[in-house]
Structure 1
Amino acid sequence: MNDDNKRQADKSTYLRATYEKELGMHMDLIKPSMGGGKRSKRAGASSARTMLASFLIGAVVIGGFSYMADKNNVFSGNSAAVQSANGGAAGSPTRQDAGLTTASLATGEDIAGIYAAASPAVVKIETYAEPARSASMFEDPAFRPFFGGDAGRGGRQQEQPQIEEQGSAELELAGSGTGFFFESDGYILTNEHVISGAKEVKVTVQGYDEPFTATVLGSSYELDLAVLKVESQGGKAFPSLKLGSSDDMQIGDWVIAIGNPYGFDQTLTMGVLSAKERPITIADEQGEHQYEHLLQTDASINPGNSGGPLLNESGEVIGINTAVNAEAQGIGFAIPATTITKVLEQLKTNTL
């Protein structure tokens, strides 16, 4: 017991003793008047003063007991003060009802800041091919029901034929998609179906007036992945994105897609991770193509988004946007980063 509590206890003991003493003395004065019949005026006045004094002393003692009980939490078992849901002491101005908490929606990062940092590393890829070519899987009617319209395997946008001089040969613009730098010395990651059948690949990079001509280092039809390389001007480093871990993502986590849907360059869309480990089957000119372990998201993905990054809230790539169900709303698919990192070096060296 601290000094303050001890002083209060001593005071209470003194008041109680005084009360008992006074009460005993005045009871002696009251008894004769109760048993003797007539009382004198002096005895009556003394009795009234005695009752008033007893009442006042009792009030003081009881008040002292009440103060000490409240001070020392006698009736609460001397337990600690109750805390509200937000950590403040109960009874404070910020007190909340017991057992209730408030929920807030926060992404944890500034989405605009993520876009500003990531978008310079996202590139537009355009492919050129010879005018006379056989129908590709992107024109196969059996392919359209799943993706719809002109969307390719995951959304390569089909372009109107444009003739471009290439030495003595004439090439036409066949399609466009998205990619991103994953190394600052010019290595680009995209989907295989974005550059499939191309005779020439052009890459448009933010901050440069003219597109780069890219070399396809390696590709995999089964995984739908490809690595391109462009040479920087004067050894200048390109902005790049870091590959994160798709295994660490949880259903409901925020995700961000950046790409070039329908020619609208550097478009940002946002959603959540809807599911993991999704398998889908696509029929193309080579038969049925089976995808495994895909990420599903409701972030908008359209033709032209293929090959673009799917980012987490830290701006890390956790997938490559590759497919969308055009008959539904908010059902898109991405190849997970864990699949990509396992084969990235082999794609770079064309040894896969």
Structure 2
Amino acid sequence: MWLKNRSFIHIALVAFVAGIMFMSGCLTVKELGWPDKEPKTSLNIPGNLANAQDTALPGVGPDLVAKTVDKTGPAVVKIETIRTSQEEIRDPFFNDPFFRQFFGDSPRRPREERGLGSGFIYSPEGYIITNEHVINGANSIDVIIQGFKEPLPAKVVGADFDLDLAVIKVQAGKPLLTLKTGDSNKVKVGNWVIAIGNPFGLDHTVTVGVISAKGRPISVENRSYKNLLQTDASINPGNSGGPLLNLNGEVVGINTAVAQAQGIGFAIPINTAKSILPDLIKKGKIIRPWLGVQLQALSQEIAGYLGLDNNQGALIVGVIAGSPAASAGLRQGDVIVKINNRKINNPDDLIEVIKETKIGQKVTLIIYRQGEMKTVSLTISEKPPY
């Protein structure tokens, strides 16, 4: 009897445990969101989104980056420069005014400063694009190109301080592999990019990131940049002048500057370079039309003080001697409101119009001066060198 009861109890206990396990399993399935049978409804996804997972990133990954680098890397160059200056020899004997009046100033000795940068080959004939600050003041420039046993000496063909762009040229004795330039206007925030260069002298270093922002203005030492591409692809000293590439291997930017914060680098849009390269190669400089005024935006307070009803226009805060503006009699305090019947809302509007004007072309300005509108005509000239 006891055995029968024990068997019954055993069977009941097993059934109870099995029931608990079944219920636990059901709860677990529900909690994890797993369906216990085919769903009765389906999501209505638009066709362009439904296929996104299948088509958005075909082939994008390490292999595509590696293929792009293999294709473009040989056209990226390392630039080594030497700048020679005279260094004063410090000697207490010569620092004494009594001895200096007899023996003169302290003797000097030559001092060499070596620099590193990057660049990329623009044409088979050996034209190479880089930053102006890479070659500025260099007494000698050597270019290291893959496939050449020795560095090739280079000469500066043209350079522009304001845009921080330069073209140098090597005599390679044979056509060189070049990089294709893309369209930086089509670059979007979030697009993948590849930076190739020589940071800290480490040849052909490759970093990958995205376009973080566009149109960034920054100031570095004595330079002011406008409309830069911002990227989180690592850019360090030595990367300057190297290419920023899209995944098609096209140059969309020229690596230029790095912020002190990690993950923030900047590049000059390639379209900026393409617009001025013909002048740099043929003339050695950029020919800029010039009005010869220093401008400031009008605030409501200044506009009210001058007697204007609104703050639209470009306020002249300085006139450069010998400039077209000076010859035409423009003065500090004048407000330019129109040029060739085009309304000027701010200084940038005027600057853009001047950029589009040819040297030697006459323009008509409408200016506001001491409560009156006046018409002034002048001829745009070439901006003089610094």
Deviations 1:195-231 (A, max 9, x none): 1110010000001110000010000000000000001
1:223–1:291 Cα contact (<8 Å) kept: yes
2:159–2:285 Cα contact (<8 Å) kept: no
Distance of 1:237 and 1:211 partners within structure 2: 16
Name the structure where strand makes up a greater proportion of residues: 2
1:313 aligns with 2:264: no
**Secondary structure, aligned partner of 1:183:** coil
Counterpart of 1:207 in structure 2 is: 147
Distance of 1:171 and 1:179 partners within structure 2: 26
**Secondary structure, aligned partner of 1:262:** helix
With over 3 angstroms needed to count, the CA separation of the structure-2 counterparts of 1:201 and 1:311, relative to structure 1, is same
Letter in 2 for 1:111: V
Deviation at 1:97, TM superposition (A): 4.7
Counterpart of 1:338 in structure 2 is: 271
With over 3 angstroms needed to count, the CA separation of the structure-2 counterparts of 1:97 and 1:347, relative to structure 1, is same
Which of residues 282, 296, 315 in structure 1 aligns to 2:220? 282
Deviation at 1:99, TM superposition (A): 4.0
Counterpart of 1:271 in structure 2 is: 209
Q: Which runs of 5+ in 2 are unaligned?
A: 1-37, 89-108, 287-386
Distance of 1:107 and 1:200 partners within structure 2: 46
Which of residues 90, 106, 114 in structure 1 aligns to 2:57? 106
Normalised by the length of structure 2, the TM-score is 0.53
Counterpart of 2:228 in structure 1 is: 294
1:192 aligns with 2:125: no
How many residues get paired? Answer: 219
Distance of 2:264 and 2:69 partners within structure 1: 22
Q: Which runs of 5+ in 1 are unaligned?
A: 1-90, 135-168
Distance of 2:168 and 2:41 partners within structure 1: 58
Distance of 2:111 and 2:153 partners within structure 1: 14
Counterpart of 2:161 in structure 1 is: 221
The alignment yields a C-alpha RMSD, in angstroms, of 2.5
Deviations 1:137-164 (A, max 9, x none): xxxxxxxxxxxxxxxxxxxxxxxxxxxx
Distance of 1:320 and 1:203 partners within structure 2: 17
1:202–1:213 Cα contact (<8 Å) kept: yes
Normalised by the length of structure 1, the TM-score is 0.58
Q: Percent identity?
A: 50
**Secondary structure, aligned partner of 2:247:** coil
Distance of 1:177 and 1:227 partners within structure 2: 13
Letter in 2 for 1:172: E
With over 3 angstroms needed to count, the CA separation of the structure-2 counterparts of 1:277 and 1:108, relative to structure 1, is farther
Distance of 2:165 and 2:69 partners within structure 1: 24
**Secondary structure, aligned partner of 1:242:** coil
With over 3 angstroms needed to count, the CA separation of the structure-2 counterparts of 1:199 and 1:273, relative to structure 1, is same
Counterpart of 1:259 in structure 2 is: 197
Letter in 2 for 1:98: L
Distance of 2:146 and 2:111 partners within structure 1: 24
